A and B are shown apart, each in its own frame.
Chain A
Amino acid sequence: MLRCEGLTQTYLSGGRELTVLKDITFTLEDSGFLAIVGPSGSGKTTLLGLLAGLDRPSRGNVFLDGADLGAMTEDQRARLRGDKVGFVFQSFQLIPTLTALENVQVPLELSGRPADDRPGELLSRVGLAERSHHYPAQLSGGEQQRVALARAFANRPRILFADEPTGNLDSATGGGIVELMLELNRDFGTTIVLVTHDLTLAGRARRIIRLADGALASDTAA
């Protein structure tokens, strides 16, 4: 499903080259559940961005469902994301000017698929059927993240990237969100890549990759 080879990312900072990621290589099978852990600044989010095709690596390749991301233009990658990828962010990143339901509809509309009952069903699934016409500002943090989850699954993605999805939530609410992710992973067979520094949360994954100073420190099955 997802394969990366020799992934390296460097930035120029104050005239000096700064290496954020060093030579990361791994493969993730279909329907897998991978947690990427590590301390702050270890390169977790950078790795997630590269895996999802949100940025280009300085060196190395990423293959997402067989597609070589490095060989694609930004717009081609955007279409690939629209087709096969879902996202959950630490700060929810709902579009503030759209209602909960409309936020969930966006991925479907982007790919030009006919509007169906799926967004509504997904909102029911995350327990927000009653609040589908509320704007993000009218929802609590946990509710916003559940809308974000519904949105992430709207286009039946083959893979879901989650960046610290519980980072802005209290532990009870965060636990609920993780349960929901596992449930969706099970029901839809979606591969999940989760970035977190919460080891309890990482423990729910089937595989854990640990980063330290931008390098792969360990890769263990849970």
Chain B
Amino acid sequence: MTSPGFVFRMAAREGRASWRRLLVLTGAVAVGVAALVAINAFSDNLRLSVKDQARSLLGADLALESRRPFPPLADAALDTISRGGAVARAAQFAAMAYVPRTAGTQLVQVTAAEPGYPFYGAIGTAPAEAWNRLHDGAFVVVEPTLLAQLSAQVGDTLSLGESRFTIIGVITSIPGDVGIRAAFGARVFIPYRFLQATELLGVGARAEYAAYVRLPPDADALKLAERFRATLRPERVRIRTVEEDRNNLTETLDRLGNYLGLVALLALLLGGLGVASAVSVFIRRKLDSIAVLRCLGATSGQVFSVYLLQAAGMGLLGSVLGVLGGIVIQQLLPFLLRDFLPVAVSAAPSPRAIGLGLVVGLWVSTVFALLPLLSVRRVPPLAALRRDVDPASARRDPLTLPTLALLALSIVALTALQVGNWRTALYFSLGIGGAVAVLWLASLGLIRAVRRWSPASWPYVWRQGLANLHRPANQTTTVVLALGFGAFLLATLYLVQHNLLRQLDLSGGKDRPNLVILDIQPDQLAPAESLLKADGRLLMGPVPIVPMRVSAINGRPVLRTGDDSVDVDSTNSAGTAGGRQRRAGWAVRREYRSTYRDTLVSSEKLVAGKWWSPAAGSSAPPYPISIEVGLASELGVTLGDTITWDVQGLPVVTYITSMREVNWARFEPNFFVVFGPGVLEKAPQSALLLTRADDPAERGRIQRRLVERFSNLTTVDISTVQAAVEKLVKQVTLAIRFMALFSLITGAVVLAGAVATSRYQRVREGALLRTLGATRGQILRVVVAEYLTLGLIAAVTGLGLAVAAAWALARWVFESPFGIPVSLAWLGAIVVAGTALIGLLNSRGVVRMAPLEVLRGE
């Protein structure tokens, strides 16, 4: 009896004539699908590239890495591992490069490597043979930016520490190099055998030592890594393999892709709102046809299917358009993210992303269409006979709740599909639900408020405009939801970016140092200080730095096990729970660069215990220390606990007398552990000095003078670092904002659709009002009044939500202070003005047609 043939034929015929009415649905779905396909295809290509290029990223089959010269145990392990293969050692560190001919100095990142490195992949140079000639003499290849910075050229002499090198070429490509790194100093490569002669790696110098291994063909890198990892971990030597690197990198990049994809998904979900709104308007226009079909014997199921099929069809069309758009947008993403990508990414279309886009687009357009389509089931056939039958007055459809549940489940499932994690998906969906609920309440409040309270003293155009917000078949809720959500997303991203950057802002404060001089050896300190003082420059410091490691906590040696947490001899005296015995591995293993002083500095705040009084120099162990609160919780220690330090082989017993909160974001010398005066003065140490020069050229001169005199010193221009960090934050937020833009576009599509659907009604009303004597200007002002109010409520609610969300993120995720920039008001103004503009543009016809024409047309 029921014939699927009828449903399909009817849907096709109806769709043929009325597809335009569902274009909003198609558009809303297309924008979301485009964003999703673009980001997913990009992620797929990225994953492929990482897979293809992983070996050249590491440059070897396996590598050993350490923050200090390899201990004997590591050398022995290296011998075993590399049997039958080859080894190339390397060291990486920051240093000042100096070109005598041009008298230019610049902070660079030096890699000293043995011949053979990299075993896989190639470091490209110009001229091409420069890399092969590198080890033939005291040669150096440098990044082209350095030549520009130092006004140098190939053939010039470059000083690094106590050694001089001839520049024989420039670097054109380094496998796996992330563009953003260049901001922290240009890369230079020198032969490993000259490392010693530079005398750059003295006490306290920070360097990364590595040994790259090419294994014989039959060796298993993973098994070797497994075998030696446990032995080498306590020695603080890490083992990397291609396989693990690839997995880590893929995981990191996947996370990046996932979160960008999440922003894209938001655009699609917002598109779902457009679907629901478009379908509900569409159905309202079809009530007569539906009633007639029911009279002619169509069951409610058949009619429901006819219209669901049309919505799905238009959704599929939207998905196809979205896929095409996504393939275009995908070309932009590698460019937007170029500075973070360690590999070249192709822009080939990804079948998985395309398939997923089609399925998800179709699913969203179907599921979001269901709820408004339910009203089709309630249209009584009697409506064909009588106009006064109101389908909405019928009882609530029993399928409403299951449909809502399906909708909620779909959102969670789609999110989980995108982020690959149900928990995150659930929280994310709850967040969306919360935001939508607030916007919905705001629109409901607006409707109630203008219905109840419309002051008679207001001008007519305002009263009429406000009344339009609660007229039958109004689009108030749809517009507030769509626009408010878009504004919410963009404003949140904007606020987060603003607060992150503001926190990093160093330029403020004329007395803040902007040049740091590192690695000053004790015998260099006095001459360096007098050199700076001679120039009459503001000085801070010297800040002494003493490298040390944890050897025991509360008298019990830390036992270094292979795994990532560290067991401390059990039955801790202060031991409350078992959790206290498991300490974070990094906190125990790392090297601490501690200082000593008698006062607190401005970037820290005492949160527990007491600071030592300047006079109370301690003469006997245990000595008092102050520890950073975060570290205290990582180490599981509190006030009164004792920590024994290994200071260059000498045990120093301390106890915690205070805890500090440190603002790490300030580019100032901050420390996890601070000693009181009178303990470390005789320990091997280096120092740093801080100074300020406003003119960049002046800073350059200071750096040059210092490096000429003390070649081992490193100077860091903080404004350069800040510029690099700002660039990084801006690039990340740019990429996210780019994806968030799709949400705003979807919002605009939904708004345009909402305005267009009420247009017919407006044209009639406008004609009627003009017949009654209203001028065109008055009618347009009514429209403006209505849309200004809509835009205002959407903007205020959206921005309010954004402030709450950004505050929560600042408080709990970034742990940064929070402020609201004045410029946020501009974003609000743009949303309001844009809404009014779209409203006006869509109302042109309202005043163009002659009143008689419209009224007769009825």
Residue numbers of A with Cβ under 8 A of B are: 45, 48-49, 52, 54-55, 74-75, 78-83, 85, 87, 89, 93-98, 102, 106-107, 109-112, 135, 151, 155, 163
Q: Which of B632-689 contact A (CB under 8 A)?
A: none
- Using known A-B contacts A45-B385, A54-B295, A78-B297, determine if residue A102 contacts B5 with beta carbons closer than 8 Å: no
- Using known A-B contacts A45-B385, A93-B384, determine if residue A110 contacts B5 with beta carbons closer than 8 Å: no
Q: Which residues of B contact A55 (CB under 8 A)?
A: 380, 382
Whether the pair B3, A107 counts as a contact (CB closer than 8 A) is: no
Whether the pair A78, B385 counts as a contact (CB closer than 8 A) is: no
Contact of B5 (CB < 8 Å), options: A45, A109, A151: A109
B300 (CB) vs chain A CBs: closest residue: A75
B5 to chain A, nearest CB (A): 7
Q: Which of B502-545 contact A (CB under 8 A)?
A: none
Chain B interface residue count: which class?
Answer: 20 to 34
A-B contact pairs, 19 of them (CB 8 A): A45-B385, A45-B386, A49-B386, A79-B1, A82-B297, A82-B298, A83-B297, A93-B292, A95-B289, A96-B17, A98-B17, A102-B13, A106-B296, A110-B3, A110-B6, A111-B297, A112-B1, A112-B3, A155-B297
Interface centre among B2, B9, B299 (most CB of A within 10 A): B299
**Which 8 interchain pairs have the tightest Cβ spacing?**
A82-B297, A97-B17, A112-B3, A54-B382, A75-B299, A81-B297, A54-B381, A109-B6
Q: Which residues of B contact A87 (CB under 8 A)?
A: 292, 295-296, 384
Whether the pair A82, B296 counts as a contact (CB closer than 8 A) is: yes
Whether the pair A97, B14 counts as a contact (CB closer than 8 A) is: yes
> Once bound together, how far apart are the Cα atoms of A97 and B13, in whole Å?
7
Whether the pair A89, B384 counts as a contact (CB closer than 8 A) is: yes
- Using known A-B contacts A82-B297, A102-B13, A110-B298, determine if residue A95 contacts B292 with beta carbons closer than 8 Å: yes
Whether the pair B297, A110 counts as a contact (CB closer than 8 A) is: yes
Contact of B6 (CB < 8 Å), options: A74, A80, A96, A112: A112
Q: 1/0 per residue B1-30: CB within 8 Å of A?
A: 111011001100110111000000000000
A165 to chain B, nearest CB (A): 12
> Once bound together, how far apart are the Cα atoms of A97 and B310, in whole Å?
13
Interface centre among A45, A74, A109 (most CB of B within 10 A): A109
B14 (CB) vs chain A CBs: closest residue: A97
Q: Which residues of A contact B630 (CB under 8 A)?
A: none
Interface centre among A54, A85, A111 (most CB of B within 10 A): A54
Q: Which residues of A contact B294 (CB under 8 A)?
A: 78
Q: Which of B773-831 contact A (CB under 8 A)?
A: none
Q: Which residues of B contact A81 (CB under 8 A)?
A: 295-297, 381
Q: Which residues of B contact A75 (CB under 8 A)?
A: 299-301
B302 at the interface (CB under 8 A from A): yes
Count A-B pairs with CB separation below 8 Å.
96
Q: Which residues of A contact B299 (CB under 8 A)?
A: 75, 78-79
Q: Which of B418-432 contact A (CB under 8 A)?
A: none
Contact of A135 (CB < 8 Å), options: B14, B17, B295: B17
> Once bound together, how far apart are the Cα atoms of A95 and B301, in whole Å?
18
A64 to chain B, nearest CB (A): 13
> Once bound together, how far apart are the Cα atoms of A107 and B292, in whole Å?
11
> Once bound together, how far apart are the Cα atoms of A143 and B300, in whole Å?
29
B6 to chain A, nearest CB (A): 4
- Using known A-B contacts A79-B297, A97-B289, determine if residue A163 contacts B17 with beta carbons closer than 8 Å: no
B844 to chain A, nearest CB (A): 24
Interface centre among A49, A96, A110 (most CB of B within 10 A): A110
Interface centre among B6, B300, B380, B382 (most CB of A within 10 A): B382
Whether the pair B385, A48 counts as a contact (CB closer than 8 A) is: yes
B17 (CB) vs chain A CBs: closest residue: A97
Contact of A111 (CB < 8 Å), options: B1, B292, B381: B1
A100 to chain B, nearest CB (A): 12
> Once bound together, how far apart are the Cα atoms of A97 and B296, in whole Å?
16
Whether the pair A54, B385 counts as a contact (CB closer than 8 A) is: yes
B393 to chain A, nearest CB (A): 11
Whether the pair A49, B385 counts as a contact (CB closer than 8 A) is: yes
Whether the pair A112, B297 counts as a contact (CB closer than 8 A) is: no
> Once bound together, how far apart are the Cα atoms of A135 and B386, in whole Å?
24
B288 at the interface (CB under 8 A from A): yes
Further contacts, 14 of them, CB under 8 A, given A54-B381, A81-B295 = A54-B380, A75-B299, A78-B299, A82-B298, A89-B292, A93-B288, A96-B17, A97-B14, A98-B13, A106-B293, A109-B6, A110-B3, A110-B302, A112-B1
> Once bound together, how far apart are the Cα atoms of A120 and B9, in whole Å?
18
Q: 1/0 per residue B262-298: CB within 8 Å of A?
A: 0000000000000000000000000011011111111
> Once bound together, how far apart are the Cα atoms of A218 and B384, in whole Å?
28
> Once bound together, how far apart are the Cα atoms of A106 and B296, in whole Å?
8
Q: Which of B378-404 contact A (CB under 8 A)?
A: 380-382, 384-386
> Once bound together, how far apart are the Cα atoms of A104 and B382, in whole Å?
20
> Once bound together, how far apart are the Cα atoms of A111 and B5, in whole Å?
10
Q: Which residues of B contact A80 (CB under 8 A)?
A: 297
- Using known A-B contacts A98-B14, A109-B6, determine if residue A163 contacts B385 with beta carbons closer than 8 Å: yes
B9 (CB) vs chain A CBs: closest residue: A109
B491 to chain A, nearest CB (A): 42
- Using known A-B contacts A54-B385, A106-B10, determine if residue A112 contacts B17 with beta carbons closer than 8 Å: no
Q: Which residues of B contact A78 (CB under 8 A)?
A: 294, 297-300, 381
B311 to chain A, nearest CB (A): 15
Q: Which residues of A contact B288 (CB under 8 A)?
A: 93
Q: Which residues of A contact B380 (CB under 8 A)?
A: 54-55
> Once bound together, how far apart are the Cα atoms of A109 and B10, in whole Å?
9
Interface centre among B288, B292, B294, B301 (most CB of A within 10 A): B292
Q: 1/0 per residue B358-393: CB within 8 Å of A?
A: 000000000000000000000011101110000000
- Using known A-B contacts A79-B297, A83-B297, A109-B3, determine if residue A49 contacts B13 with beta carbons closer than 8 Å: no
- Using known A-B contacts A96-B289, A98-B13, determine if residue A107 contacts B300 with beta carbons closer than 8 Å: no
Contact of A112 (CB < 8 Å), options: B2, B289, B291, B382: B2
Q: Which residues of B contact A151 (CB under 8 A)?
A: 296
B38 to chain A, nearest CB (A): 35
> Once bound together, how far apart are the Cα atoms of A49 and B294, in whole Å?
13
> Once bound together, how far apart are the Cα atoms of A134 and B784, in whole Å?
41
> Once bound together, how far apart are the Cα atoms of A214 and B831, in whole Å?
57
> Once bound together, how far apart are the Cα atoms of A75 and B1, in whole Å?
12
Q: 1/0 per residue B27-59: CB within 8 Å of A?
A: 000000000000000000000000000000000
> Once bound together, how far apart are the Cα atoms of A52 and B291, in whole Å?
14
> Once bound together, how far apart are the Cα atoms of A87 and B14, in whole Å?
21
A58 to chain B, nearest CB (A): 14
> Once bound together, how far apart are the Cα atoms of A83 and B297, in whole Å?
7
> Once bound together, how far apart are the Cα atoms of A94 and B288, in whole Å?
9
Q: Which residues of B contact A102 (CB under 8 A)?
A: 13
> Once bound together, how far apart are the Cα atoms of A89 and B295, in whole Å?
11
> Once bound together, how far apart are the Cα atoms of A151 and B296, in whole Å?
9
A170 to chain B, nearest CB (A): 18
Whether the pair A95, B385 counts as a contact (CB closer than 8 A) is: no
> Once bound together, how far apart are the Cα atoms of A95 and B286, in whole Å?
9
- Using known A-B contacts A55-B380, A89-B385, determine if residue A107 contacts B296 with beta carbons closer than 8 Å: yes
> Once bound together, how far apart are the Cα atoms of A87 and B291, in whole Å?
12
> Once bound together, how far apart are the Cα atoms of A185 and B5, in whole Å?
31
> Once bound together, how far apart are the Cα atoms of A81 and B288, in whole Å?
17
> Once bound together, how far apart are the Cα atoms of A52 and B384, in whole Å?
12
Q: Which residues of A contact B18 (CB under 8 A)?
A: 97
A74 (CB) vs chain B CBs: closest residue: B300
Q: Which residues of B contact A45 (CB under 8 A)?
A: 385-386
A59 to chain B, nearest CB (A): 18
> Once bound together, how far apart are the Cα atoms of A85 and B295, in whole Å?
9
> Once bound together, how far apart are the Cα atoms of A190 and B301, in whole Å?
29
Q: Which residues of A contact B1 (CB under 8 A)?
A: 79, 111-112
B313 to chain A, nearest CB (A): 14
Q: Which residues of A contact B17 (CB under 8 A)?
A: 96-98, 135
A115 to chain B, nearest CB (A): 9
> Once bound together, how far apart are the Cα atoms of A87 and B294, in whole Å?
11
Interface centre among A45, A49, A80, A85 (most CB of B within 10 A): A49
A201 to chain B, nearest CB (A): 18
